[in-house]
Amino acid sequence: MAGNTFGKAFKVTTWGESHGAAIGVVVDGCPAGLELSEEDVQRELDKRAPGRSELATARREEDKVAILSGVFDGRTLGTPISMLIWNKDVDPSPYEALKNVARPGHADLPYFLKYGHRDWRGGGRASARETAARVAAGAVAKKLIRTYGIEVVAHVVEVGGVRARIEGLNFEEIRRNVEHNDVRCADLETAKEMRRVILKAKEEGDSVGGIVEVIAWNVPPGLGEPVFDKLDADLAKALMSIGAVKGVEVGAGFEAARLRGSEMNDEFYVERSEDGVRIRTKTNRAGGILGGISTGMPIICRIAVKPTPSIRKRQKSVDFVRLEEVELEIKGRHDPCICPRIAPVAEAMVAIVLADHLLRNKLARA
Amino acid sequence: MAGNTFGKAFKVTTWGESHGAAIGVVVDGCPAGLELSEEDVQRELDKRAPGRSELATARREEDKVAILSGVFDGRTLGTPISMLIWNKDVDPSPYEALKNVARPGHADLPYFLKYGHRDWRGGGRASARETAARVAAGAVAKKLIRTYGIEVVAHVVEVGGVRARIEGLNFEEIRRNVEHNDVRCADLETAKEMRRVILKAKEEGDSVGGIVEVIAWNVPPGLGEPVFDKLDADLAKALMSIGAVKGVEVGAGFEAARLRGSEMNDEFYVERSEDGVRIRTKTNRAGGILGGISTGMPIICRIAVKPTPSIRKRQKSVDFVRLEEVELEIKGRHDPCICPRIAPVAEAMVAIVLADHLLRNKLARA
Amino acid sequence: MAGNTFGKAFKVTTWGESHGAAIGVVVDGCPAGLELSEEDVQRELDKRAPGRSELATARREEDKVAILSGVFDGRTLGTPISMLIWNKDVDPSPYEALKNVARPGHADLPYFLKYGHRDWRGGGRASARETAARVAAGAVAKKLIRTYGIEVVAHVVEVGGVRARIEGLNFEEIRRNVEHNDVRCADLETAKEMRRVILKAKEEGDSVGGIVEVIAWNVPPGLGEPVFDKLDADLAKALMSIGAVKGVEVGAGFEAARLRGSEMNDEFYVERSEDGVRIRTKTNRAGGILGGISTGMPIICRIAVKPTPSIRKRQKSVDFVRLEEVELEIKGRHDPCICPRIAPVAEAMVAIVLADHLLRNKLARA
Amino acid sequence: MAGNTFGKAFKVTTWGESHGAAIGVVVDGCPAGLELSEEDVQRELDKRAPGRSELATARREEDKVAILSGVFDGRTLGTPISMLIWNKDVDPSPYEALKNVARPGHADLPYFLKYGHRDWRGGGRASARETAARVAAGAVAKKLIRTYGIEVVAHVVEVGGVRARIEGLNFEEIRRNVEHNDVRCADLETAKEMRRVILKAKEEGDSVGGIVEVIAWNVPPGLGEPVFDKLDADLAKALMSIGAVKGVEVGAGFEAARLRGSEMNDEFYVERSEDGVRIRTKTNRAGGILGGISTGMPIICRIAVKPTPSIRKRQKSVDFVRLEEVELEIKGRHDPCICPRIAPVAEAMVAIVLADHLLRNKLARA
């Protein structure tokens, strides 16, 4: 019983194999009347596209999206939005030699054991290429949540043990800075050091991991549904469903385990401004979510990204058809650090969760 | 659009407010023919029941479960299993004074902003009491996954900064040890220190957080569905949906962010034994999951649990009806550390995810 | 993969076997703030309750409902509404002799073949008793749709070949008349004849079928979702899911097959009144639905109800354990015509579909 | 909250507007390892394709399908199967003049009232063109159910009041005969009369309706889920979701309303053959389903199809923007009777329901 759809009101279904004819996505449940163009989607896809930096894989995909349905005269129809991206720079040859080999850290073996039959070319369905479809859907979600004033940004806060310093930066500065370096780090100085760490690993035929933070700004209170579809629960699922993510935390996250209640609790206060009266918290260790429902404070979550499993270094593994041990060297074209390209995907997934819950929350009161 | 159901094939719907008439759960999708008794469920509930240790709330609930449907002659019918627990030791009086006050770290305010109308008695639907229903459903899930040989255990690995040492322990030892101390820690020496830390916080009118690890043993390869319903994605959602959880990680988790690919990748090898030939990995930094699908290695995940927000210490907050700042002291009956009682809930949620995916995986091949 | 839940936004999950401890229902997705009391639900249940007419089974069930969650201070909380009805007049003895016999027209054999293990007492889960839970959920749905001015009535239009004449009656007259006779027929004269037909069949140890019509009044335009969750598609599913229903039609229904396009099409016109301008149709052969979406005209559908399969007359069948042919006479307590008691169930199901689509339609526009 | 997906285990999502760039479908949940080619799908599409008979619309669409994902080396991967059909013979000009006019019998007005913004070209999403995507998905479903020996056929049994006589025909004869006439009627003599009736209506600028029967052969017992996802309930939804369908019946259908229990009940008997022992019924008034679960007898259902609403004859209606009454003549290209082209769609929908329930039934027993 497959699981290629995310969301209950804003439903995203992706399809496609890395080296098949195309990849794509159907967004069902986007309300009618929203302005949407191919340019809106293309802009987001370009953030994730490969072949544009020495930090990323050399696979050259234009990743030009076509919107095939659901939009008429520049606005959505309330019907499914089907988007398609052709696979062009397809070269399965480096994968052929390894088609029965379980590449360490990859899903080859579990796919083989689960399905019996699999598309071994470039990871098939398990390829990171699938995330382009998520980014396309995320572009629609962003347009929708923006009508409520919500903005989302993802930025790389740690790479190979090097941490960014972002304490003084506000939301707009973070958004601006990430566009100015190919690591997508908001701390422009540390970004340079991160680049060096990544390129050094690449040179050595190895790879590094890191941490990406996602911030959602201007999220109204009330999003999230008790008890299983809590906002943080859906964020955790959305983010953990991205390949290479091994951990998700919200607000203080794992640090919360070491705090006392009196330190962890955010104190409420009343803020009176021109915009009216709002209840806010002085600190935001909750990360904008209490009891699974947004509080009105910014939503902050972080993901742990493992180092790219495809490395040039020699590794030991197994031919799962012959049941023999083998040695392998992975050629293909790979990112020495996946964090910069995971950031737009994380942004997309958070936008999709917020779009879904914005719609769902419309049904909370009679 | 509510979210009180978890699972797609093994579907769990909980209902009930903390101080309402009762709480309960309907399990839909449990196959027919499974042996199941009220004792099976009661045994699990007793692990979570309040009022049994000085580490836990003084609320005394027998938490006696009644199975009202879905079982006949000691075996499941394939029809919904409805289970009910009456609320008995109900005393809303300590909550009355705070009914319009946003208790820091609690969901009072978001519920009020979302619904307008809420049950303020003991947290209502947002109370940890809801998790008893999850444990009941988890008991059914455990019976089901046990027919495949799978076992699950949750144990407390860190409390208030004190870490357990569990390196030498095997699965059976962990299972046995957690039953021998009310912290549910597998390291019996450290458990004593954890007790002291918890009781000290209690004495000071404060609380502590910690980390709980869940291990699933004998999980066959192939569980989990690309691309959104990955096994780790569903585990992340299941665990993050438990109140007080602020982070989830699988395998190396956040540590993976600091490793290189050559360190993170688990090498495959062929194991030949009396049971036949199996492909295994020497290490298990993946935590038993690759590409969202189980590999056949043990599944290991950890959750960050925040300190109980209900503390006796004086706190500042807001009356959200009068929009005034107030000071509050929380009386009621609370756990100074929620980790020991979250462990059975985490166990239940992991069992439910595995039951759901075991069933779903039956449909993978034609 | 079980199917005990109906609806996507207003979700109804029923549980319980006919001769188990209890039956019940969980309604998830009802918005917060709706006035709701046990009396609201009881009033609807009383319409369906057995033992109140010589036309109905002699099983005496009080069918007293208890609301266990989701309501506080007389209003819904937005959390699951759990309702429970204890089974009291439980006498499985007449069923014991037939526990391995496939009663003709009943689900004994398919349940046995599907599940292996079944509750043979009074039909178990397949019993019409399950529909009491639907009526309880329908009572909540009715309260919700009434806040939009929508009313639903079901009335018996044909029994054993005898047809009611209802051409001159308006909606209010139909609603009033059905409460004045135990056939629930709006044509009070024909109702008497229907009674005679039913009692004659009963006397002869036989049963009769009939047709029930459901009218939904004041339904706003726009309900129903392209392309699979059309309003008529969901009504068809909802009504066909009631045991004993063998056909569903909307508007002109099967008669439409014999009309020409020029006869079938309803002409639109503009109606100007004190309430404003509305587009209406002169006729309503569409039954209030075009392209699966409500038009603003009354919704009209009809169901074909088969004669009660439980008859006293001697029948031939099979013992499915011994695989032998047997003769049987069904004792137990049965309705000689199920139409009068199906009417409230059909009403409930239509109300549930409308409640679900009213909520869903809130998400149609950005 | 949109509804473009059908099925819970075998999930079909269609997308596309009649005069947009393309239409398509994503099938999620088809097991891995099933043989599937574009020819398999094309063969089914050709049955429904327009422009091939004087009974059908003159719109010429090749309806060439491309499978873009989910198939590798001629077999399914267990991943989503995305299929695409370009719209080629697109001519919106005849629709422009009517873009604000509610064509009688069409969904223009409800779409406008629901969404505000709509694609008026050729009915947009509400066009019968959408059903090509269903037929493509149905082709996959047919391949899947055929691995269990199940076959499905739809045939036209009534047109414009003219009824086919099919009593003597067996399943194979019906399947063969429908391919030999463009009415898709199994009674070859009556087919000629039906043709005359259709062409006469066409000549007069009018249209006729009819009845289509679907038979599913070799369906094993046990398919269908209590209580809402009964097999007949899902069939009713699937079939009623096809545009122009106004009624659905199973087995004796509406005729059951006029029978007595002793006439309606099918007697069980034991059949012993070379294939083993089976329990069957002498008659099949149940249409192969009892209590919502298949019995092992053939499944028989019928749908009432209204006459095509697009007729050349002058009609009165309303301009819903100007709120004025207008007269209209519909030009475009239309089928004078939709029954022959609905038959393959009905076949596809029944195949999809059976595929879904075959998979779901794998989870019935522990």
Annotated domain spans of chain C: 5-251+286-361
Nearest CA in chain A to C79: A226
Q: 191-210 in B: which are within 8 Å (CB) of A?
A: 201, 206-210
Residues C337-347 have a mean pLDDT of 97
CB-CB contact of A307 with B259 (8 Å)? yes
Nearest CA in chain B to A349: B228
The hierarchical CATH code for the domain B5-251+286-361 is 3.60.150.10
Distance in angstroms (rounded) separating the CA atoms of residues C76 and C147: 14
Q: Is pLDDT of C332 > 70?
A: no
Burial status of residue C262 (CB atoms within 10 A of its CB: 0-12, 13-18, 19 or more): buried
Pairing of strands A81-86, A22-28: antiparallel
Per-residue pLDDT reduced to its tens digit, B120-137 = 998 999 999 999 999 999
Q: What is residue A268's predicted lDDT score, i.e. its pLDDT?
A: 97
Q: With beta carbons under 8 A apart, name residues in chain C contacting D113.
A: 221-222, 293, 296
Q: What is residue C91's predicted lDDT score, i.e. its pLDDT?
A: 80
Residues B33-52 have a mean pLDDT of 90
Per-residue pLDDT reduced to its tens digit, C183-198 = 999 999 999 999 999 9
For testing the chain D interface, which of A10, A13, A360 should be mutated: the one with the most D CBs within 10 Å? A13
Contact A291 B110 (CB under 8 A): yes
Q: What is the full DSSP assignment across B177-202?
A: HHTTSTT--SSHHHHHHHHHHHHHHH
Q: What is residue D274's predicted lDDT score, i.e. its pLDDT?
A: 92
Q: With beta carbons under 8 A apart, name residues in chain A contacting C32.
A: 364-366
Nearest CA in chain B to C119: B72
Q: Is pLDDT of A150 > 90?
A: yes
Q: Residue D366: which of B31, B79, B365 has the nearest Cβ?
A: B31
Count interface pairs C-D at CB distance under 8 A. Answer: 389
CB-CB contact of B178 with B188 (8 Å)? no
Q: With beta carbons under 8 A apart, name residues in chain A contacting B235.
A: 240
Q: Residue A318: which of B4, B227, B269 has the nearest Cβ?
A: B269
| Closest C-alpha among B354, B351, B333, B350 to residue B128 | B333
Q: With beta carbons under 8 A apart, name residues in chain C contacting A363.
A: 9, 29, 31, 359, 362-363
CB-CB contact of B299 with B222 (8 Å)? no
CB-CB contact of A279 with B102 (8 Å)? yes
Give residue for tokens 């619309």: D57
Stretch (H or E) spanning B269: strand B268-273
Q: What is residue A96's predicted lDDT score, i.e. its pLDDT?
A: 87
Q: 22-61 in C: which are within 8 Å (CB) of B?
A: 22-24, 26, 28-29, 32-33
Q: What is the full DSSP assignment across A299-311?
A: EEEEEEEPPPS--
**What rounded mean pLDDT belongs to chain D?**
95
Question: Radius of gyration of chain D from Cα atoms?
Answer: 21
User: Which tokens is C71 given?
Assistant: 């309501």
Residues B175-186 have a mean pLDDT of 96
Tell me if residue A149 falls in helix, strand or coil. Answer: coil
Q: What is residue D48's predicted lDDT score, i.e. its pLDDT?
A: 81
The CA distances from residue C159 to B233, C176, C184, C304, in Å, are 55, 20, 11, 10
Contact C296 D5 (CB under 8 A): no
Q: What is residue C58's predicted lDDT score, i.e. its pLDDT?
A: 67
Q: Is pLDDT of C136 > 70?
A: yes
pTM higher than 0.90: yes
Least confident of C25-39, C143-157, C203-217, C330-344: C330-344
Relative orientation angle of helices D339-361 and D131-146, to the nearest 10 degrees: 50
Contact A28 D5 (CB under 8 A): yes
Per-residue pLDDT reduced to its tens digit, B4-40 = 999 999 999 999 999 999 999 999 999 999 999 999 9
Residues C87-103 have a mean pLDDT of 87
Q: Is pLDDT of A10 > 90?
A: yes
Residue A78 at interface with chain C, using a CB cutoff of 8 Å: yes
Q: What is residue A283's predicted lDDT score, i.e. its pLDDT?
A: 97
The hierarchical CATH code for the domain A93-117+131-251+286-361 is 3.60.150.10
Q: 277-336 in D: which are within 8 Å (CB) of B?
A: none
Per-residue pLDDT reduced to its tens digit, D54-104 = 777 766 778 899 999 999 999 999 999 999 999 987 788 878 888 999 999
Residues D339-354 have a mean pLDDT of 97
Nearest CA of chain A to the CA of B246: how many Å?
5
Contact A9 D1 (CB under 8 A): yes
Q: Residue D126: which of C110, C226, C315 has the nearest Cβ?
A: C226
Contact D76 B366 (CB under 8 A): yes
Per-residue pLDDT reduced to its tens digit, C261-312 = 999 999 999 999 998 999 999 999 999 999 999 999 999 999 999 999 999 9
Pairing of strands C289-290, B315-319: unpaired
Q: What is residue A59's predicted lDDT score, i.e. its pLDDT?
A: 67
Written as one letter, the residue type at A288 is G
CB-CB contact of D22 with A71 (8 Å)? no
Q: What is residue D59's predicted lDDT score, i.e. its pLDDT?
A: 67
Give residue for tokens 């003219």: D162
Distance in angstroms (rounded) separating the CA atoms of residues A76 and D1: 14
Question: Radius of gyration of chain B from Cα atoms?
Answer: 21
Q: Residue C364: which of A32, A226, A364 has the nearest Cβ?
A: A32
Written as one letter, the residue type at B332 is G
Flag whether the ipTM exceeds 0.90.
yes
User: Which tokens is C229 given?
Assistant: 């969750």
Distance in angstroms (rounded) separating the CA atoms of residues B85 and A239: 35
Q: Residue B34: which of D9, D78, D366 has the nearest Cβ?
A: D366
Contact A32 C147 (CB under 8 A): no
Q: 243-262 in C: which are within 8 Å (CB) of D?
A: 243, 246-262
Contact A69 D4 (CB under 8 A): no
Q: What is residue D217's predicted lDDT score, i.e. its pLDDT?
A: 98
Residues B34-54 have a mean pLDDT of 88
Higher pLDDT, C259 or D275: C259
Distance in Å from the first CA to the final CA of chain B: 35
Q: With beta carbons under 8 A apart, name residues in chain C contacting A1.
A: 1
Q: Is pLDDT of A56 > 90?
A: no
Q: With beta carbons under 8 A apart, name residues in chain A contacting C228.
A: none
Distance in Å from the first CA to the final CA of chain D: 35
DSSP bridge pairs for C255: none
Nearest CA of chain B to the CA of D235: how many Å?
21
Per-residue pLDDT reduced to its tens digit, A329-355 = 887 668 899 999 999 999 999 999 999
| Closest C-alpha among B44, B214, B48 to residue B136 | B44
Chains with ≥3 Cβ pairs under 8 A against D? Answer: A, B, C
Q: What is residue A333's predicted lDDT score, i.e. its pLDDT?
A: 67
User: Which tokens is C190 given?
Assistant: 């024909």
Chains with ≥3 Cβ pairs under 8 A against C? Answer: A, B, D
Nearest CA in chain D to A119: D72
Q: What is residue A48's predicted lDDT score, i.e. its pLDDT?
A: 81
Nearest CA of chain C to the CA of B290: how many Å?
26
Distance in angstroms (rounded) separating the CA atoms of residues C159 and C28: 36
Give residue for tokens 């459903």: B137
Residues A76-81 have a mean pLDDT of 98
Count interface pairs A-B at CB distance under 8 A. Answer: 388
Helix and strand element counts for chain D (H, E):
9, 18
Nearest CA in chain B to C16: B69
Number of other residues whose CB lies within 10 A of the CB of residue D203: 10
Chains with ≥3 Cβ pairs under 8 A against A? Answer: B, C, D
